[in-house]
Structure 1
Amino acid sequence: MSIVNSPDGNSPEDERPFEDDRTAERPSIGRALQQARIEAGLTVDDVSNATRVRIAIIHAIEQGDFAPCGGDVYARGHIRTLARAVQTDPVPLLAQYDAEHGGRPAPTPAAPLFEAERIRPERRGPNWTAAMVAAIVAVVGFVGITVVKGGDGDDDAKTQVAEGSTPTAKKSATPLSKPSKPADPKPEPSDSAIAAAPQDKVTVRVSAPDGRSWISAKDHNGRMLFDGLLEQGKSKTFQDSSKINLILGDAGAIELYVNGKKIDDDFQPGAVERLTYTKGDPQVG
């Protein structure tokens, strides 16, 4: 068998077109996107932050796996978004995807959506016009009734004046109340009050007419009757079956009345006094 050479020295096999070679050398969609991203100086994190596409999906697309996209429609959308982010033309990549995955997905028919929208009942708002008309009619009716009643009242008043009757003046509903006088202050206990004091108990009254003083009072069981500051002009009365124990923080500001009788002890200002009073005649225990 002889071999026929072409005039330029090449065999016929060397003259076959280079279409298949270019097709075989064409990179995959994922590889093309990855190369474009690297040439743009972007990382996967940069692309994810710019497109809001998850990093795992970007890695899968660059590896040629479109299953995480969730369908052809979403895959085409991710391809378009990633191509724009890495500054490459998405059109040839989309065409390549359609060729490799059975063509472009058919558009969703609009007729069922239109029919569903058409049969949806229309929501109507409140009929404000009818409400306003009803309100106006009610107001007009109320005004008319008021005018009629007012006219009848005027006629009755005119008739009463014509007959010579004198209209009676209205009395004030409530008379002005006079300010109550302040209650008279209770008189201080005196020697004559001894008879009023219970004979079977001890009664001690502590007053602070000239200043204030801290006082403490306990009964015969040690139970606290009072422990605090007695303000100027205030007084406290304590009573027990057998004994009252007192502590006066500023005895000079205190006046004491035991069983109705004033104690004339010479208490000094600022002095602390510890006192005990029992039944019977006033005496310091």
Structure 2
Amino acid sequence: MSIGNSPEDDRPSIGLALQQARVAAGLTVEEVSVSTRVRIPIVHAIETDDFSRCGGDVYARGHIRMLARAVGLDPDPLVDRYDAEHGGRPAPTPAAPLFEAERIRSDPRRPNWTAAMVAAIVAVIGFVGFTVFNGDDDGSGTAQVAEGSTPDRNTPTPEATKPADPKPVPSDSAIAAAPRDKVTVKLSATERKTWVSAKDHNGRLLFDGLLYKGESKTFQDKERVDLVLGDAGAVELFVNGKKVEDQFEPGQVERLSYTKGDPEAG
């Protein structure tokens, strides 16, 4: 009795599945490259199951997702198959110096300058009153001075010195307080979920996964943070406390790098 192959044995490879779907959709490699921003040589390589040109597993997964969406395939089974054939997906490494933007520090107590001012005025008035009272205490109506001179009653009374204005308390917003000796990047999914990959300057993976609508992630490194955004139009981006005003299109894939000096002034 012969044993037939399982249905999985007859499945086309990842590259062949993408190629067949592209042809069925009536798309050329050039059209897929334009819509996904994946370079033509990489599209050709992936369709022949050569993922060495992707630059690593993280980018390979991202390319597979983008190409699958462009040709009308569900990307999740293809990515799962890629993971199964390439040793599985590594567990995301938490960002070591994760900058918790959502944590708000309690306000320090400010000095009570009003009370200090009142106390100073009372002290000055008391001193002036004491001086005048002692000058009139001999009953002659003239205060005696050691040099025999009569004090000038028209001398203006010293005014209370107004305390210096308190120094402004620095903003307690975690984004506004981003340290200048590091680069801090905050992502918020404002429109819909999007795939995000983040690495530090050593290429260490900080995050690789989906950022759902309403969620935020903040990454920090002493030199550089590298990002890959699967749908840049769905993300609100803050770098070093400043909002990035670039207008990304919905579904647009962006590869971004930010340092301590970004975004540039102006």
Higher helix share: 1
Structure showing greater radius of gyration is: 1
Q: Using CA pairs under 8 Å that are at least 6 residues apart, name the structure with larger relative contact order, 1 or 2.
A: 2
**TM-score normalised according to structure 2 size:** 0.40
**TM-score normalised according to structure 1 size:** 0.37
